[in-house]
Amino acid sequence: METIMQIVFVPIGIASLGLILSLIFKGIDRRIAARFQARVGPPLVQPFRDIMKLMLKETIVPENCVRWVYESAPIIALVGSLMLLLYIPMGPFNAPLGNFGDLILVLYLFTIPSLAMVAGGFASGNPYATIGAQREMVMMMSYELPLAMLAAATAWKVTSFSIAKISSTVIWSTVGPLGLVGILLLLVVVLSVAPAELVKIPFDAPEAETEIAGGLLVDYSGRNLALFYLSDAVKSFAFASLIVALFFPFKLGTTIWGEFLWFLLKVLIVMIVSVTTVRVAAARLQIDNIAGYYWKPIALVSLAALALIAIDTAVVI
């Protein structure tokens, strides 16, 4: 009976909790962004209202689309995002599938929602969606190298790709001066990748409303658009949770619920720093500028971080 609970009900509970928390955090993000711009902003429950409104609207399917791909893409995107929550620990709560996957698997899982959007964009047959899908593919290839360096550098020091082991080690306490600089550079890299991974301003070229009328999502409506909306919210929460698990696993030593609230506070701070502040302060970049940004300065910083951590490890040994 206990095994059935762990296999069935625990993942369902975590997925449900993740959906609720993701929408709450999306509401907080929108409210804070509005305050930064001297606006009142929507109420915190606005994301829930948006989902309910989209679910009640008619779902329109383009006549010339590849229907099975077009309609399965939002489902795959949401399922891929929810799967992330099963591999990333939430503060004091261990990930249900933490022993069956590592950092490399999680980084690849982050590509599933993006690939689903690309497939849906190409399948729609709309030229604007096709342009958006092409831009999304270019952007994905641009930030893969920095993410690969993140995985290699953390595993180099901890000697494991396990997220649970990395978060329990507190990597800051295992390095010398050179390694500390390397970890700081890695943090800068992953915070720089966050807005592109989540397709937020200034890296929202695949969805640029003023240029390509919404790009990837131009033809999506009703239930399908709601699923993409949920996928985006869950993916944002999951990426911030991953950053917290890797770089800020510090505990307060209080009750389990106190630790969970502490975890949520850290996730909120990461989201504000890496996404909210950036999208309020910056303007949209062109796709060639985005590719150049990740292939040149960010790639060099990530390689420097890996080199510093490798040297620090050799010195310590």
Question: Tens digit of pLDDT for each residue in 265-299?
Answer: 999 999 998 888 888 887 777 878 888 888 888 88
Distance (Å, rounded) from C-alpha 238 to C-alpha 185? 21
Q: Where are the beta strands (DSSP E) in 102-215?
A: none
Return d(Cα 241, Cα 87) in angstroms, integer: 11
Bigger pLDDT: 12 vs 4: 12
Q: What is the percent of the chain with per-residue pLDDT over 70, rounded to a whole number?
A: 90
**Count of structural domains, the chain:** 1
Q: Region 143-147: what's the mean pLDDT?
A: 83
pLDDT at position 214 is 66
Across the range 196-217, mean pLDDT stands at 75
Percent of the chain with pLDDT over 90: 5
Nearest to 207 by CA among 272, 129, 285: 129
Q: Alpha carbon 156 to chain centroid distance?
A: 23
Residue 160 pLDDT > 70? no
Q: 228-260 b/e with 16+ CB inside 10 Å = b?
A: bbbbbbbbbbbbbbbbbbbbbbeeeeeeeeebe
Q: What is the mean pLDDT of residues 80-95?
A: 84
Which pLDDT score, from 0 to 100, does residue 5 have? Answer: 59
On the question of pLDDT at 211 being above 80, the answer is no
Query: Residue 315 has what pLDDT?
Result: 65
Q: Quick count: other Cβ atoms within 10 Å of Cβ 60? A: 12
Structural domain boundaries, residue 156: 2-316
Of residues 97 and 143, more confidently modeled: 143
Structure-model confidence comparison of residues 129 and 214, the more confident one: 129
> What does the mean pLDDT of the chain come to?
82
Phi, psi of 90, deg, nearest 5: -105, 85
- State the Cα torsion 307-199-117-81 to the nearest 10°: 70
Compute the average pLDDT of residues 228-247: 89
